[in-house]
């Protein structure tokens, strides 16, 4: 998953599930060393901290109690500064060690309120642990005992944190980013589905750059470049060119036109790892794949079309039915996974690829207009 949209705003992947887990392990280690000989009460600050608390206490291997306080200060992406206590502390905390588990400390207004709440509870001690911390915004002279990950002053969502109530369920942390400007479309479909023909028409209509992996490779092969010779050895067998070669070539191709309105990717990505490499690459630019548009055509019709094309194009891989079938097998086993990849992001659009060229262009345009 790359750039996501919540309400009106866009967010890009920022901290992975794995990095979060590592940070929590370190926090647990520090807290355990300090408190393993007593029974601390971990108090999570709701709503944001529910995931953090669950993962933290699961890793904490000594006696402890768990409770929650519900506070609220944020409205949209701005701290309001006014903290409301919605569910208070019920336990008798006298003489106890309390460890506050916060998802994030930003301005410190909430933290100040926490110190207020526990001030007259006659605790043995009050410790503060926060998973995320924004040092550039923190204005208070209040101690924070354990810090997981310090981050820049940019709004984040995921792992319990929300933007107007959305995003709490995301396993990774996403950071606010600018709205993507490009229309980037993965044009998809089995060999012979008419991707190239349609891409040529659509790139003009929508002012997009068309990147056909096959064409770029054939150009390189014809000119006997290093990459071309390498690619040829695979293509002649009807096999796919290895990911790293293809990905580097595609990146270079995209970087040739940095001011493009967007790209039509034709023949790429073909594997899930290519798709996530493409997502990562676009994400660095604050861009994303707008959608995968797939032409759907029955296989027998395709074999017929390809053999016809082979007669005139001279493409070796279009002249032999068993090589064509081999490409379909590759397509079905590897590439169909991509449908799932984009579908889980709500970015998959199937289009009926049987009919006159103009009819199909019309159907594709309906999808392109939406993206
Ligand atoms: P503070 O009172 O300004 O320190 O803000 C603390 C509370 O604001 C946190 O417990 C969160 O609920 C919320 N908050 C602060 N920064 C973010 C953010 O980047 N994303 C989501 N919520 C945030
Ligand atoms: Mg909070």
pLDDT confidence bin for 145, thresholds 50/70/90: very high
8 A C-beta contact, residue 36 and residue 62 = yes
Catalytic entry in 309, 323, 334, 339: 309
What would the pLDDT profile of 170-223 be if each residue is shown by its tens digit? Answer: 999 999 998 889 999 999 878 788 888 899 999 999 999 999 887 877 877 888
Catalytic residue status for 168: no
Which sequence spans correspond to the domains of the chain?
Answer: 3-177, 183-370
φ/ψ of residue 190, rounded to 5: -65, 160
CA 75/CA 73 separation, integer angstroms: 7
**The domain 183-370 is classified under which CATH number: 3.40.50.300, 2.60.40.150, 3.40.50.970, 3.40.50.720?**
3.40.50.300
More confident site: 355 or 77: 355
Whole-number Å distance between alpha carbons of 161 and 47? 8
Chain segment 317-364, per-residue pLDDT in tens? 777 888 888 888 877 776 678 999 999 889 999 999 998 999 999 999
| Residue 182 DSSP code | -
Ligand 1 in reach of 131 Cβ (< 6 A):
no
Torsions phi, psi for 252 (to 5 deg): -60, -40
The yes-or-no answer to whether 3-177 and 183-370 have a common fold is yes
pLDDT for res 75: 60
What 3-state DSSP class applies to 349? strand
Ligand 1 contact, 112 CB (< 6 A): no
- Fold classification of 3-177 is Rossmann fold (3.40.50)
User: What is the Å distance from ligand 2's center to 69 Cα?
Assistant: 10
Where is average pLDDT lowest: 41-45, 88-92, 367-371?
88-92
Q: Give CA–CA dist 282/285, Å, rounded.
A: 5
| 305 among known catalytic residues | no
Ligand located closest to 133 CA: 1
Cα–ligand 1 centroid distance for 15 (angstroms): 16
CA–centroid distance, residue 107 to ligand 1 (Å): 8
CA-based torsion, 161, 164, 170, 172: positive or negative: negative
């Amino acid at each position: 998953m790359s750039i996501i949209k919540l309400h009106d705003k866009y967010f890009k992947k920022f901290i992975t599930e794995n990095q979060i887990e590592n940070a929590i392990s370190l926090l647990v280690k520090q807290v355990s060393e300090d408190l393993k000989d007593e029974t601390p009460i971990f108090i999570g600050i709701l709503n944001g901290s529910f995931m953090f608390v669950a993962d933290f206490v699961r890793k904490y291997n000594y006696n402890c109690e768990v409770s929650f306080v519900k506070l609220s200060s944020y409205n949209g992406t701005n701290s309001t500064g006014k903290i409301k206590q919605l569910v208070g502390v019920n336990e008798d905390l006298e003489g106890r060690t309390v460890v506050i588990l916060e998802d994030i400390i930003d301005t410190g207004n909430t933290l100040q309120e926490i110190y207020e709440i526990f001030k007259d509870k006659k605790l043995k001690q009050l410790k503060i642990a926060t998973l995320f911390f924004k040092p550039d915004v923190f204005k208070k002279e209040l101690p924070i005992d354990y810090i997981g990950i310090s981050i820049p002053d940019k709004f984040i969502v995921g792992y319990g944190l929300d933007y107007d109530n959305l995003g709490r369920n995301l396993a990774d942390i996403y950071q606010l980013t600018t709205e993507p400007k490009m229309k980037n479309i993965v044009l998809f479909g089995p060999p012979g589905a008419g991707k190239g023909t349609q891409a040529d028409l659509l790139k003009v209509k929508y002012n997009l750059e068309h990147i056909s992996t096959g064409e770029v490779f054939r150009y390189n092969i014809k000119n006997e470049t290093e990459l071309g010779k390498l690619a040829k050895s695979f293509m002649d067998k009807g096999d796919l060119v290895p990911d790293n070669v293809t990905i580097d070539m595609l990146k270079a191709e995209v970087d040739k036109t940095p001011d493009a309105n967007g790209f039509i990717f034709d023949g790429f990505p073909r594997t899930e790892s290519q798709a996530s490499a493409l997502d990562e690459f676009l994400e660095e630019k604050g861009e994303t794949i707008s959608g995968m548009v797939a032409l759907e055509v029955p296989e027998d019709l395709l074999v017929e079309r390809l053999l016809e094309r082979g007669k005139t194009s001279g493409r070796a891989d279009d002249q032999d039915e068993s090589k064509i079938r081999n490409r379909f097998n590759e397509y079905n086993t590897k590439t169909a996974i991509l449908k799932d990849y984009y579908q889980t992001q709500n970015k998959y659009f199937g289009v009926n690829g049987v009919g006159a060229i103009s009819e199909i262009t019309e159907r594709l345009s309906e999808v392109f207009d939406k993206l």
